[in-house]
Amino acid sequence: MAPEPRRTESGFLIDPLYGPEQPIERLGVPGEYPFTRGVYPSMYTGRPWTMRQYAGFGTAAESNARYKQLIANGTTGLSVAFDLPTQMGYDSDAPVAAGEVGKVGVAIDSIEDMGVLFDGIPLGEVSTSMTINAPGSLLLLLYQLVGESQGVPSNKLTGTIQNDVLKEYIARGTYIFPPKPSLRLIADVFQYCRAEIPKWNTISISGYHMAEAGANPAQEIAFTLANGIEYVRTAVAAGMDVDDFAPRLSFFFVSRTTLLEEVAKFRAARRIWARLMRDTFGAKNPKSQMLRFHTQTAGVQLTAQQPEVNLVRVSVQALAAVLGGTQSLHTNSFDEAIALPTEKSARLALRTQQVLAYETDITATVDPFAGSYVVEAMTDQLEAAAVELIEKVEEMGGAVAAIENGYQKSEIERTAYRVQQETDSGERTVVGVNRFQLDAEEPYEPLRVDPAIEAQQAERLARLRAERDSSAVDRALTALRKAAGGSDNVLYPMKEALAAKATVGEVSDALREIWGTYTPVDRF
């Protein structure tokens, strides 16, 4: 049943869809190629975007408590942050993990930790996004195993793993293996999920981290879509039909305070991807041509100075994401430039989304910026600039070849340096940093992670290793190495190893033995 039309504060009916009586061909209509105006015909007039809050810290039990608080406060999707050892495929008791356990996310070492993380959370009813890349397949399988323990059929699981390792080589650095085996692992995930977890989004191709490293909007969408092209080619080369996996591809972008340009960026990205999928890869299913994306407000624009001002920044950034047509949204907490968010600040960040969804009128109509001269002009400009950058990447032989030549990394670094120069000179205003400062900052007590959790995790691992069937673990890891050295899908033996209580570090080490690790080379 269609919702009742909304009215303005003056009592006028709000039309669910505005635009010229005969939409121009280039702009189109929402829900139709080239999806400039949105991927769905009704957008938020039927229901709002998925409201996610990126969270995870300390132990699995602490993070579980935070997830339950967020769900109680109205979050409609979970988003899991993992600590650096987990992101790099190391156990909490590995020497390299010292000092990092539980610091920037939750520590997950085994199926036992994953079970605690989602204890009491029905995985058949909640959509979960996991920001994990090089070991993304491991965490997906652990999630599937927890779902099975809850009695949830795998075809009922919904969510996303980021699984975008190419941007790690460009901007973020949490890679493990060289590009070629990393792409093979991603193709294996595509095939596995098509057969076993069909509702799962197998990759979230991310521009967010490139933007955090300094990429401008044109670079963000260009390098993200160039990576997307590489992933599609890899899957097709592995024997998959484009329409078999492309509907499960998703994207992840930043939303900055420059509202008009951000709205135009999202529109341009949808249009470019639709054309690429239809004309370059021959995708016939409209869902294969849709660029569906999650958005996170710009953490890089938050300041430790006068942190309450970040509430204003995040509100503007969230508004830009919604006006740009995002499918899900995370709003940063105002204190994240200082430390992990407190329970109160995380709740305020969620309330920001709820005010936009339920107190404003921007969800009453499908495309609020329809016919905006400035947004349409900016969309055309961003599209042209992004296409030019994509073509440069293609001339180098594609995203992997360009990464190996240091192209994307060097271009982003040049942009970041220019922005920093503009900020230092005062040409670019940052409120509270180079203008409108306070003589003295007000004291603020941040959330702190208990350093004792490192020892606690080590104790859990020692107990796990002592109590499990070591011979079963050894057999499973041997089968995994054999698959990694051949052409079989590695996720099946990987799942057996994790089910036998092999740890994240042990499984990652088995793959390191066969595939090696990646060492970057700066070429510029």
pLDDT at 523 over 90: no
Measured CA to CA, the distance from residue 124 to residue 11 in angstroms comes to 41
**Does the predicted TM-score (pTM) go above 0.85?**
yes
pLDDT surpasses 70 at 524? no
Span 412-443, pLDDT tens digits: 999 999 999 999 999 999 999 999 999 988 88
pLDDT above 90: residue 187: yes
Per-residue confidence (pLDDT) for residue 444, from 0 to 100: 83
For 174, phi and psi rounded to 5 degrees?
-95, 55
Residue 12's pLDDT is 72
Q: Within 10 Å of residue 369's Cβ, how many Cβ atoms? A: 18
Mean pLDDT of 231-247: 96
pLDDT band of 316, cuts 50, 70, 90: very high
pLDDT 10s digits, 253-285? 999 999 999 999 999 999 999 999 999 999 999
pLDDT of residue 20: 67
Query: Do residues 85 and 101 lie in contact, with contact meaning Cβ atoms separated by under 8 Å?
Result: yes
Q: Note the pLDDT tens digit of each residue in 358-412.
A: 999 999 999 999 888 889 989 999 999 999 999 999 999 999 999 999 999 999 9
What's at 8, amino acid-wise? T
User: Which residue reads 């139709």 in tokens?
Assistant: 32
Domains present along the chain, CATH in parentheses: 43-425 (3.20.20.240), 453-515 (no CATH)
Q: In the prediction, which pLDDT does 468 show?
A: 98
Residues in CB range of 447: below 8 A, 6 or more apart? 57, 335, 339, 340, 341, 342
The Cβ of residue 325 has, within 10 Å, a number of other Cβ atoms equal to 28
pLDDT band at 10 (very low <50, low <70, confident <90, very high): low
Q: Between the CA of residue 454 and those of 308, 385, 397, 458, what are the distances in Å?
A: 32, 47, 44, 6
Q: How confident is the model at residue 21 (pLDDT cuts 50, 70, 90)?
A: low
Asked if the model's pLDDT at residue 477 lies above 70, the reply is yes
pLDDT the model gives residue 22: 45
The whole-number pLDDT of residue 450 equals: 87
Total number of residues shown for the chain:
524
**What would the pLDDT profile of 111-146 be if each residue is shown by its tens digit?**
999 999 999 999 999 999 999 999 999 999 999 999
Structure tokens at 408: 């994307």
- How buried is residue 417: exposed, middle or buried, by Cβ count under 10 Å (0-12/13-18/19+)? exposed
Give 1's pLDDT tier (boundaries 50, 70, 90): low
Over range 302-318, report the average pLDDT: 97
Q: Which long-range contacts (CB under 8 A, 24 or more apart) does 507-511 make?
A: 507/89, 507/135, 507/138, 507/477, 507/480, 508/89, 508/90, 508/134, 508/135, 508/138, 508/176, 509/89, 510/477, 510/480, 510/481, 510/484, 511/89, 511/176, 511/177, 511/181, 511/185, 511/480, 511/484
C-alpha 228/C-alpha 207 separation (Å) is 11
Contact indicator for 75, 350 with CB cutoff of 8 Å: yes
Residue 460 has phi, psi (to 5 degrees) of -60, -40
Per-residue pLDDT band for 198 (boundaries 50, 70, 90) equals very high
